[in-house]
Every structure is written in C-alpha cells, then in structure tokens.
Amino acid sequence: MKKIILLASLSCLFMGDQLLDAQNASKPKRNKVRPAFTEGLHIEGLVIYSYVDEKKRRRMSLDLYKPAEHKEPLPAIVMFFGGGWQNGRPGLFAPLGQALAQRGYVCVVPEYRLSGEAPFPAAVYDGKAAIRWTRANARRFGIDPDRIATIGGSAGGHLAGFMGATNGIKRFEGIGGHNDQSSGVQASIVMCGAMTLLDPHIIERIEKNKESPRGDAVIDFMGGHTPSTNRAIYEEASPLTHVGSHSPPMLFIDGEFDRPEIGYTEFRKRLDSHRIPHQFVLMAKGPHPFWVYEYWFSPTVDAVDAFLKEHLKMSK
C-alpha cells in the first residue's frame, strides 16, 4: 500500500521518499480558521436527530452544511468533533464542514453525549444514530445513501474510526432512532485518533494521572475504570478490537508533532490482512489539532477530498 506524506507548508508533497516541492516554512503561524458562511452554501443548525431517553426530553441535535444547489445526490460526511470525549460542540467543525460542502459533500456534524453525561458506549450509540439519521433523510437533503463517510479529530477521530471498524456489529447500534436504517459507512477518516485505548503510551499516561485531582479524559470516558480495573472495557472501546473485512477504506492524518502514525501500526496491518485500502498523510510541523489552523487547513481539505473522490466513487 502506497504511503502518502503531505507536507502542509506551501502544500509540499512527498510520495513515498520522492520530494516534489522542497519549499518549507521554518515556523508556521497558528492562526485559527473561522467559519466563512460563504454564499452558495445551505446551512441548517440544531436539527434534532435523536432522543436518548424514554421520555424524549434529552434531544440530540446536529448541524448540516451542503451546496445550496445541486442536481445529483451527493456523498455525505458525518463529522465528529474532538475534546477528549468530555468537551466540544458541533460548531468546532463549522469551518471544515463548510469547506468540504464547497467541494460537493453534505456535511453532518452531530453532538454526542460527552463523558460527564454518559460514558462509553453512549457516544458510539449517538454516532451510529447520526449515521442512520443521515441515511433516513437522504432524499430530504440530497444525499446518496450509498456514499456516507465519517471523519473526526482527536476523540472525534476515535469515534470516526470506531464507526468504520464496527460496520454491521449490532451491539453498538443503541436505541437512538431510525433503527430500520443501516449505520454502515463507505469510508472513514481519522485525524490523530486513538485506534487502541491500550496503547502503551495511553496506559502510561493513565497510570500517571489516575491519582491526580484532574484525573484523565480516557478514565472518564471509560466510566472511571483504568486498564488494571477493567481491561475488557478498554478492549471493547478500541476500534482495533473490531476491525475486519466489514471495515471500509480508511485515511489516517497526523501532525508531525503528535506522535505520528504510532497508534495505527497494528490497525493498518489488520486492514492489509483483509485487503482494505488505507492511506496515511503527515502534516509537516503539524500540532494537535492541526486541522483548526489556517496553515494546515487547506491541505487537510485537499487530502480528505482526494481520498473520498477515490473511495466514494464520486464520478458515477
């Protein structure tokens, strides 16, 4: 499988070990990208997609971005924001959702239950429900129900990868509505997301933080458990545990200063064993989270668009 490394500085691009453009900036500025609200986009905010309690008082909402006018059904991207599973909101992905909508996608950005409200697998249930809602509302929003992808960053990257790794595994569906629809996706994109929560680096951090007043985001996501008190739940929450022949093509994007690619080694081997296409992109000098900064924003959009054009077969 060809390994792609994208240097964000002036869009330098390596293919394997071949340098195509040697220009490079010494220290990129970290100016955050802001929503553009560009003409030509249709934006819907706070759309209710699910209820997570029997009395239907806890509503789950999403934001949606799409081209204002299009004739043919478009592929959709369900987007998961990051924040350690304990913070964040759909608006964090407004710039990326708008930019990808300009490339011809319907971008759906759902909220999901954070760990302070409900630990794993609540966020997974909400993610699956959002995908099912997207498929159920395909005609309403001009979506091709056979071309749905996921993308996420950090904790959202874990969720995006989890969606693909668990295609067709019923126990992760939950009861979030539209259960007559499939939650399967045709591609998944992971930006700096953990594919195993039993990575030695994560375990070391948990052991270091478990007695501190601030604790650790992973422990909160795991309902207060550590790998030593409940290793099984860490295995269950790891996309690596579930990846198989049912999983879709996957793209991994990391920043250079964020332990690049280390967490994907075994995951990509398993994709290879099932002959599932996958690619890796490295953002040069990229921090965590690189996708929120102007310097790495356009290369991120380009990489995602190129991958989805190939694997969602946009030229039907």
More confident residue, 54 or 140: 140
- Tens digit of each residue's pLDDT (9 = 90 or more) over 112-127: 999 999 999 999 999 9
User: What mean pLDDT comes out for the span 211-237?
Assistant: 96
At 4, is the pLDDT very low, low, confident or very high (cuts 50, 70, 90)?
A: low
For the chain, domain boundaries: 4-196+240-311, 197-237
Q: Which helix (H) or strand (E) holds 13?
A: strand 12-15
User: Which residues neighbour 208 within 8 Å (Cβ) at sequence distance 6 or greater?
Assistant: none
CA 56 to chain CA mean position, Å: 27
Q: How many CA atoms lie within 13 A of 19 on its CB side?
A: 4
pLDDT at 297: 96
Going by pLDDT thresholds of 50, 70 and 90, the confidence category of residue 21 is very low
pTM exceeds cut of 0.85: yes
Given a cut of 70, whether residue 37 has pLDDT beyond it is no
What's the pLDDT tens digit per position in 177-218? 999 999 999 999 999 999 999 999 999 999 999 999 899 999
pLDDT of 20 over the 90 cut: no
Taken as a whole, the chain contains a residue count of 316
Tokens at 315, concatenated: 């030229």
Rounded to the nearest integer, the mean pLDDT of the chain is 90
- The closest of 188, 171, 11, 157 to 84, measured between CA atoms, is 157
Per-residue pLDDT band at 310 (split at 50, 70, 90): very high
> How far does Cα 12 stand from its chain's mean position?
24
Average confidence (pLDDT) over 87-100: 96
> pLDDT tens digit string along 264-307?
999 999 999 999 999 999 999 999 999 999 999 999 999 999 99
Could you name the CATH architecture of 4-196+240-311? 3-Layer(aba) Sandwich (3.40)
Per-residue model confidence as pLDDT tens digits over 47-75: 999 999 989 999 999 999 999 999 999 99
**Nearest 10 degrees: CA dihedral of 256, 279, 133, 44?**
50
**What is the distance, to the nearest Å, from the Cα of residue 91 to the centroid of all Cα atoms in its chain?**
15
What pLDDT was estimated at residue 280? 97
Average the pLDDT over each of 1-5, 21-25, 266-270, 275-279 and give the range with the smallest value: 21-25
